[in-house]
A and B are shown apart, each in its own frame.
Chain A
Amino acid sequence: MSGPSTYNPKSGIEKWLDTRLPLPRLLHDTMNTFPTPKNLNFWYVFGGILTFCLAVQIVTGIVLAMHYKPDAALAFGSVEKIMREVNYGWLIRYVHANGASMFFLAVYIHMFRGLYYGSYKAPRELIWIIGVLIYLLMTATAFFGYVLPWGQMSFWGATVITNFFSAIPLVGTHISTWLWGDFAVGDATLNRFFSLHYLLPFVIAAVVGLHIWALHVPGNNNPLGIDVKSPQDTVPFHPYYTIKDGFYLVLFVIFFSLFVFYAPEFFGNADNAIEANPLVTPPEIVPEWYLLPFYAILRSIPNKLLGVIALGAAILVLAFIPWLDTSRVRSCRFRPTMKWLFWFFVVDCLILGYCGSQPVDAVLAGIPLVLVARFGTAYYFGFFILLMPLVGLFETPKPLPASISQPVLGE
């Protein structure tokens, strides 16, 4: 997409197409000859895996929608029909349900990788910001999707999350009512959530197109975080990265399959096997695992409105990272202080996730978990707002290699 095209139309059809709609040229330049740093490691395979996850969710989702009924009286039964009567319905549904967890697992690794190697720094700010937008769309899609089976956790999760909007002063309750299409979560809510759950994946697909387009202008960052200096630093995307990404994709699918075939309810919640009942509240309302850290941040703040603001800010702050990080060096490999702070941040997210999974009054080894979550929240925001700008100014980075080829040749 960027730089001079190396495409050379050979056959008559290719020449004809190239002067009218140069689709083969586009594919050739983006997926075939695209110069890619040769030192990309394992952590760079998740972009391809995520594209695969999106495709799997869309394909299985379209098939599920052929059998699903977005009606509060019929939804739960139609899902059980898919599980029991539709040919391979159990397979399609388990792939879709576990696929959501796999999608989030991959996206978190992808985001942490970008954070570690400074992939958000100039000239790749827009790739990162578009990525944050994709992540936001993913959480919305996953939330809508979790409501559709119309189990107890679907219903009460939807109730809790849509109630967040009622914390907004003056117009809050009106917004909640407008979202529900009723005065509580009900049939109208389910219907519109189904509509949005079907719409958003295609929006994600379009934004992923922008993400990849924006990536193909400056090209990939790499574990050294230094620019490509000469053609020796790169290899063509195909076949080098198609085969490497392909190999790791198959390993990922094996991991995915272990859940689908041998632990399909691992990420599930027993309460969601009970049909939604507005009169019975489950003892504990817990969101899906991939939202737990944010749930912990929300609960760690005693004021509802401030909690909701913190929840929104926790995601929004990601979009400002390109300017919060003041370091001149991209990769944490050469940033002795930031490297440690990054790993603390990873652990912090895991701790927050654990806190979010426990009852709000839980105590671990004599320490109330809400206190742990408060420290976790403080580090979460402190990492981005204080440490990133300050460490970038005061840290002395290690010397950078002259080029990507140099450290490899030097060994």
Chain B
Amino acid sequence: MTHLPLRLALAGSLGLSLAFGAASAHTMDTHRLPPKKEEFSFEGPFGTYDRGALQRGFQVYKEVCGACHVLQHVAFHNLSEPGGPGFSEAQAKGIAAGYKVPAEPNDKGETTDDKGERLTRPGIIADYFPNPFPNENAARANNNGNLPPDLSMIVKARRGGPQYVYSILTGFHQTPPKGFTVTKDKYYNPYYEGWNIGMPPPLQANSVSYTDGTRATVDQEARDVATFLAWASEPKMEERKQMGFSVILFLLAFAGVLFAAKRKLWADVH
């Protein structure tokens, strides 16, 4: 019986885990709620992006989300490409020039100024959207330790896609159920896994003032930016669906010809 202390420890930990097991049966299920069933124009085999929503959504990204979230895989020239928000090339150039991107080394080979700040230059159409923070540590330091994810892939990277993004953005300002404690520096959002989200409610009514006169409600802003981010994730969607239609139409006709030929050929085989 030299192993008695070990046995006791095992028995103790078993009892403890049983107690925890019993306790966990009473804790709340904080799995995220299914996303709201919001319909978007770009769904279905013939759906296209609503240009107005894309342009308004871009405005929301630029003026609100872009303060913390990068749009890593989107270049400024994408904004004027077919199937996108439909900005002209001149408009895309103007948007690019409004961003400061990290500059190439200057004549002395430097990339930072005397104070150690990164040298920048105005963006050109070939540039990608710059990161609002110089690195991950800076991003976390500015956001209570949370890392705001890249938004150029967010619609593809979350189950529920655009509905998920819309639900998160409109899922704030609800009273948490009794017994659920919101962690310090977190916000209650039942559409987020675990219900504690690090992002403060980003959208308010009139967070942006739309140039096309649309009323900027939270719902409208969320719908618009979800549309814009769906495009950012899948910028070739319209081209894809259009090509698919012609390809399948051709293949159906081709299959018809082959079927007729096959029937004729095999008619004599018994």
Contacts and interface: CB of A to CB of B under 8 A. Distances in A.
Interface string A230-269: 0000010001100110110011011001101110110000
B229 to A, nearest CB: 12
Interface stretch (B7-15, B60-68, B206-214, B253-261): B253-261
A80 B75 CA distance: 12
A55 B166 CA distance: 42
B248 A84 contact: no
Given A84-B78, A265-B156, A254 B258 contact: no
A130 B232 CA distance: 46
B118 interface: no
B153 A274 contact: yes
A409 B270 CA distance: 7
> B interface, how many residues as a size bin?
35 or more
Interface string A312-330: 0000000000000000000
Contacts of A273: 153, 156-157, 233
Contacts of A258: 244, 248
Contact of B261 (A243, A253, A265): A243
B241 interface: yes
A90 B45 CA distance: 17
A285 interface: no
A38 B266 CA distance: 10
Contacts, number: 81
A331 B223 CA distance: 58
Contacts of B259: 247
B159 A270 contact: yes
Interface in A81-95: 83-85, 90-91, 94
Given A240-B269, A247-B262, A254 B255 contact: yes
Interface string B229-254: 00001011001110111011001101
A408 interface: yes
Given A239-B265, A260-B244, A408-B270, A253 B157 contact: no
A84 B177 CA distance: 43
A270 B247 CA distance: 27
12 contacts: A84-B73, A84-B78, A85-B75, A240-B265, A247-B259, A250-B254, A254-B252, A257-B251, A265-B156, A273-B156, A274-B157, A409-B270
